[in-house]
Chains A and B, each alone.
Chain A
Amino acid sequence: MSSKIKLIGLSSALSVMALSAAAQDPVSLTIVSWGGAYTASQQRAYHEPYMEMNPHVTIINDDGSANALAGLRAQAQAGNVTWDLVDMLPSDAQLACDEGIILQIDHDEMLAAAPDGTPASEDFLPGSLGECFIPQIVYSTVLTYRPDAFPEDNQPSSIADLFDVENFPGRRALQDRPGTNLEWALYADGVDPDDIYDVLATPEGVDRAFAKLDTIKDHIVFWTEGAQAPQLLADGEVAFATGYNGRMFDAIEVEGMNADIIWDGQVVEWDGWVVPADGPNLDLVMEYLYFATDTQRLADQAKFISYGPARASSAALVGEHADLGIDMGPHMPTAPENYFSPIVLDNDFWVDYGDELRERFANWMLQ
């Protein structure tokens, strides 16, 4: 297996040669992603340029990422892998990696170096690379509020304000899962961002987080799907909403919603590729990945959706939004003026404690 991977790495490094050799047989790649605007941004930034360079390749989009773990495991157990490449969250990738159903990645060997020669493993943002995971974007869950819900001289500006119902009354829309909410409860309770997961790994820490959440319990509206959060804000249903920064960007900049983002305590997470082991077109997939995760391509994706590229070298190349003409740089979660107190989501922690905390959170929500 490992020698095969090396071979693949070699072939992708020499993609120009591979390209000319494989130019005859038509072949299709099934790429699983999240659908909607996200798949559309990948289509324009990665798939279309790649297909243009390789006319024999057709890329089929499957928006099954939400259930990709089940699909990967079922396909692997059946020995019939039909997916070529899957976009998923790093915590899911960790589970799949543990099961051995996706390939381990040697990032330096399989991925392009930065234009200045910095190897991939150093170019990707710290903490983003996984054993089997190639990050594409960094996104964050941010707190957003309606300025008109508060007097002009008393606007909220921090996560602590989310938990302060006396000074900042109004309903709050939170996602119906423990991730982000527990981190913020501890952060607002005075825990240093770097210590949050150590505290949360102890029973007392969990109790502390839930106790903090209890203080705003009566003011919470829960949302499930990403589209609901900006909707609730736009409808004036809530004064605060947590949400994905890309969705909030769309609602504020594209649809003109009256809302502001609070970057304090943004919970930063990655999203990226995994390669199903025993996939039908491994060589081609590696070649595609080499192309689609290089510095320019990652920067290109930010033209179509407001998520930050996962490579440091891409940051300087992020330009204007392709359709809106807005300079995207300041809207990136990783822009220095936004990245002052980030909480980096600890996927290892959530794989370990996710089941238990989810049960407790589900229970808490219904009390």
Chain B
Amino acid sequence: MSMPAYFTTKDKIWHYTFRVICFAIFFFLLAPILIMIPLSFNAQPFFTFTREMLTLNPEGYSLRWYQDFFSSDSWMRSIRNSFVIGIAATIVSTTLGTLAALGLSRSEMPAKGLIMGILISPMIVPLIISAAGMFFFFSSINIAQTYLGVILAHAALGTPFVVITVTATLVGFDQSLTRAAANLGASPTRTFFKITMPLILPGVISGALFAFITSFDEIVVVLFVAGVEQRTIPREMWSGIREDISPTILAVATILVMISIALLTVVELLRRRGERLRGLSPQ
């Protein structure tokens, strides 16, 4: 934004002060995440920049924490678990959530508000309460400390995001298209896969990503429901932080930040593509 010519000195001071404040806040948002990246290459087991690091002496840097990470059975298992649980939970929540969103978008849907409220509730209820409830219930039906239990729990937590994103996509969805397809003799299944699916796909995918990241990042339910076999990355990090916080945590954190950047990029691309497809783009 360029500065209008009629700005007074006071305006100018304010103009610059405001930008400084804003960039300080952006700094506050990003710096903590970014500062871990160089620290994860620290050759020493400290959380601070050593003299060698500051003088860019190569001896101050090492990959030892990454080696620790990649050679540790429990970290490797936790990665596998995070993906297995995350993907399975995403499949369950995306399937159920997409179907439900299709139903909820129909004008004939009875008791829409109530049902929507129930379906959204996993997002609203404090996690500690969901986790406690699931801990008791899953124990009583013998699926606590099993993959099935953790997957079902994460699927429940992920569905609201799928329901919300897919219903949002359906808002801009022109129902006359499906009617046209039906009139032209397409079966409902064919209509769904040929007409509906391609149009809502961006919503489904971003909902699925939200569901995945929900599971991938979730720890409270894992603390209560998972056993030692089902430990995920956040659960290992939790132990690491509580016991002795070594820079291995920072190496893991750096890898996770990279994953977040990748996911963020995908979601952003999808959102733009979706808006373009539905002609909603403001630009």
Contacts and interface: CB of A to CB of B under 8 A. Distances in A.
A283 to B, nearest CB: 22
Interface stretch (A61-69, A123-131, A181-189): A61-69
A303 B140 CA distance: 42
Interface string B214-247: 0000000000000111000000000100111000
Interface stretch (A6-14, A75-83, A144-152): A75-83
Contact of B228 (A36, A62, A79): A62
Contacts of A60: 228-229
B234 to A, nearest CB: 16
The prevalent SS among residues of A at the interface is mixed
B239 A78 contact: no
Contact of B243 (A30, A61, A62, A227): A227
A61 B244 contact: no
Contacts of A78: 139-142, 144
Nearest to A62: B228
Most buried by B among A61, A63, A74, A77: A74
A61 B228 contact: yes
A169 interface: no
Nearest to A30: B228
B243 A36 contact: yes
A225 B136 contact: no
Interface in A185-200: none
Contacts of B78: none
A75 B139 contact: yes
Contacts of B227: 62, 82
A11 to B, nearest CB: 27
Q: How large is the interface on B (under 10, 10 to 19, 20 to 34, 35 or more residues)?
A: 10 to 19
B66 interface: no
A74 B144 contact: yes
Nearest to A66: B242
Q: How large is the interface on A (under 10, 10 to 19, 20 to 34, 35 or more residues)?
A: 10 to 19
A47 to B, nearest CB: 14
B142 A80 contact: yes
Nearest to A79: B142
Nearest to A231: B244
B40 interface: no
A249 to B, nearest CB: 16
B254 interface: no
Nearest to B139: A74
Contacts of B243: 35-36, 225, 227
Contact of A63 (B135, B136, B239): B239
Given A35-B239, A63-B239, A225-B242, A77 B140 contact: yes
B145 interface: yes
B35 to A, nearest CB: 21
Nearest to B142: A80
Given A78-B139, A80-B139, A64 B244 contact: no
Nearest to A73: B139
A36 B139 contact: no
Nearest to B228: A62
Interface in A64-111: 64, 70, 74-75, 77-80, 82
Given A227-B243, A227-B244, A77 B139 contact: yes
Nearest to A70: B135
B228 A74 contact: no
A79 to B, nearest CB: 8
A48 to B, nearest CB: 15
B68 to A, nearest CB: 15
Nearest to B223: A67
Interface in A325-351: none
A168 B40 CA distance: 41
Interface in A29-77: 30, 35-36, 60-64, 70, 74-75, 77
A64 B228 contact: yes
A60 B135 CA distance: 22
A280 B162 CA distance: 40
A63 B139 contact: no
A136 B227 CA distance: 25
Interface in A209-264: 225, 227
Given A30-B228, A64-B228, A227-B244, A74 B142 contact: no
28 contacts: A30-B228, A35-B239, A35-B243, A36-B243, A60-B228, A60-B229, A61-B228, A62-B227, A62-B228, A63-B228, A63-B239, A70-B135, A74-B135, A74-B136, A74-B139, A74-B144, A75-B139, A75-B144, A78-B139, A78-B140, A78-B141, A78-B144, A80-B139, A80-B142, A82-B145, A82-B227, A225-B242, A227-B244
Given A61-B228, A74-B139, A75-B144, 8 more contacts: A36-B243, A62-B227, A64-B228, A74-B135, A74-B136, A78-B139, A78-B142, A227-B243
Interface of A: 30, 35-36, 60-64, 70, 74-75, 77-80, 82, 225, 227
User: What are the 7 tightest A-B residue pairs by CB atom distance, in nearest-first order?
Assistant: A74-B139, A62-B228, A80-B142, A78-B139, A36-B243, A78-B140, A227-B244
